[in-house]
Amino acid sequence: MASDSIKAVTESLPPASDYMTYLTILESHISPMLLPTLNDILQDAELTQNIGWDLIHLLTPLPGSEICLTTIARLGNPREVVLKVTEALQLLQLDSKEEEEKQEGEKTAGGKPTPVNRFCTLVNLLSILHPRIKTKYPSRFLSSSLMAILSAFRPSSQATLSVISFVHTISGKKRPPLPGRKSSLKIPTVPTGNQAGTSAPDPEAQEEDPHEAAIQTKLLQSFVTHVLEEYINCNSLEWAARLQESFDPSKVVTGRQSLGESYRVDPALQTRDTIVGQLVALARDLGLSSYETLFDAIYKTEPPPTEYDPDENYPSSPGDIPLSQAGSLFLISSFVFSTVLFESKSLQPKLSIFPDHAKLVKHFIGLEGPTSIGGEEPGVVDAILAIGLWLEYNNRFVSGPLKDEDFLQHLQTLSLLSANNPSPTLRYTAHVFTSSILHAHPVDRVRLTFICDTLENCPYETLKASAVSWLKEEIIAAQERKSENVFASNVALAAAQPYLFPDTSALADASDEELLQELGQTFPFHMAVINFLFFVGSESYSHVVPSGMMNVVEEIYLGPLRMAQEKSEKGLEGVASFELQLLGERIAMCTVKIDKI
């Protein structure tokens, strides 16, 4: 019974038993009903100094244990307790971010705190413990705690807000709370500072080394950039797509809610914006607002200084502590985004697409070769595209000489992003950005070279379809601007013809199954080409079509493709796919158009 447990732990208090024996007695009787009595017992600072650190693992899983844990954090030996708290963090078995979001504010079976609640409680304990530690090198304790937090961190809203609160407390950087938005988040907290009551002094207090303040600040800076990296890569902010809407509102579909509106009315999206805003504000408060510092962090490749001791794994100077490269990129992108959509008065970085954006892309995209492009973290791709769109919108294309090979390489990387990224939104944004850069190059033959190279060598049908659209856009622009370049004559089509209209006669020998698979894979390209044929078949653009081209196209491309489509559709006995039917309809329309020429 509870009364028996209370009697046992009260009567066996030291000196009636030694500390180790008393811990054993506590462990055998501990329960949620005993916690109020235990908290009264723990008000004895001498007792808590001797046993508090050993109660952390015992109390953490119990519901309602926060008050006892707070007392231990206030009165226990801070150096011993902080080690036990970081150890408990490292032992946490946290779920994925999505599972944690479902569990926020809930309890597990039996009323036990969820893993994310336990994470928040332990992090909040650290915010009481670290200010109590008075040692020559407090950064060593802080470094271990930050590493433990990061190892256990999963970027749910609840966990991230808990971490933000921790850094505010440790850094002493207090901000007034942001204007509130309704939220269902209930973050388990322990009282801090005056709320928790008086804390006991550090029994082993030492004078702090004068270099420690700078090291601790850099540790917190690094920590915030790593938290920002984790959070944004798991919680899409759609920076690039929102900027694109802002720069070209005409592209927003009438009657459909824009992304900008979604982020103003959707509580989940509001929470994302708010949390990132708090992380960015915290980074600024810690001194991370210089673009030079952030770009240095991204591109820095020097090894740690020689005085850095990897065996101890403790930094001896701020230079030993790297910022997160992706986190630094996110800060830059956030600053830029805020100046556009939130009209903040922040300075904007002095960048241009060439060479600055090209250098960023090379540093973050396709690090394992062209085949890996598109598989990068979604937050990184979004940030890269957002910065690029902003530069393109502000006509910041080139500063200094630009080699054709650098231009073509940058376009190739971006175009592969538009083909391979798993996000439809990022693919479209990358396509728009690639198109804008391509069309902006002043030399027509360079633009044609990239289009033809993509048509000839690209293995991705969607990207080849994009190349067809680029060719069409160039021809239209040349006509509208009355330009005198390769796209205003038949030179462009003569160069692109072998890759634009490939020989499809081999389809006649394919089996029904092979034919269906081939047409399904190449559907985006064929649709783009057939629509292009319909376009250049009009009288307005007859001057760009080389003499005899349409006859060749009918013979080696359109005719065999028509027969293959009809054969495939018959083989399916009236249940052909929508794509196959659509291809047949477009081929028929194009054939009628060509026959009239």
Q: What is the 3-state secondary structure (H, E, C) of 463-477?
A: HHHHHHHHHHHHHHH
Q: Which residues, other chains included, contact 449 with Cβ-Cβ below 8 Å and sequence gap of 6+?
A: 404, 408
User: Sign of torsion, CA 12 15 17 23?
Assistant: positive
For 502, the token pair is 């490939």
Alpha-carbon gap, residue 300 to 287, rounded angstroms: 19
E strand residue ranges, 305-464: none
pLDDT at 93: 78
Alpha-carbon gap, residue 533 to 501, rounded angstroms: 10
pLDDT by residue (tens digit) across 9-26? 999 999 999 999 999 999
Dihedral, 94, 99, 104, 107 alpha carbons, nearest 10: -70
pLDDT at 574: 57
Average pLDDT, the chain: 90
Whole-structure pTM value: 0.90
Quote the percentage of the chain above a pLDDT of 90: 78
| 89-92 contacts at long range (C-beta below 8 A, 24 or more positions apart) | 89/119, 89/122, 89/123, 89/148, 89/149, 89/151, 89/152, 90/148, 90/151, 90/152, 92/118, 92/119, 92/122, 92/152
pLDDT by residue (tens digit) across 181-230? 444 454 444 455 445 568 888 888 899 999 999 999 999 999 999 999 99
Cα–chain-centroid distance for residue 50? 45
**DSSP 8-state code for residue 317:** S
Q: How confident is the model at residue 163 (pLDDT cuts 50, 70, 90)?
A: very high
Alpha-carbon gap, residue 197 to 346, rounded angstroms: 40
Q: How confident is the model at residue 174 (pLDDT cuts 50, 70, 90)?
A: low
pLDDT by residue (tens digit) across 412-421? 999 999 999 9
pLDDT at 109: 52
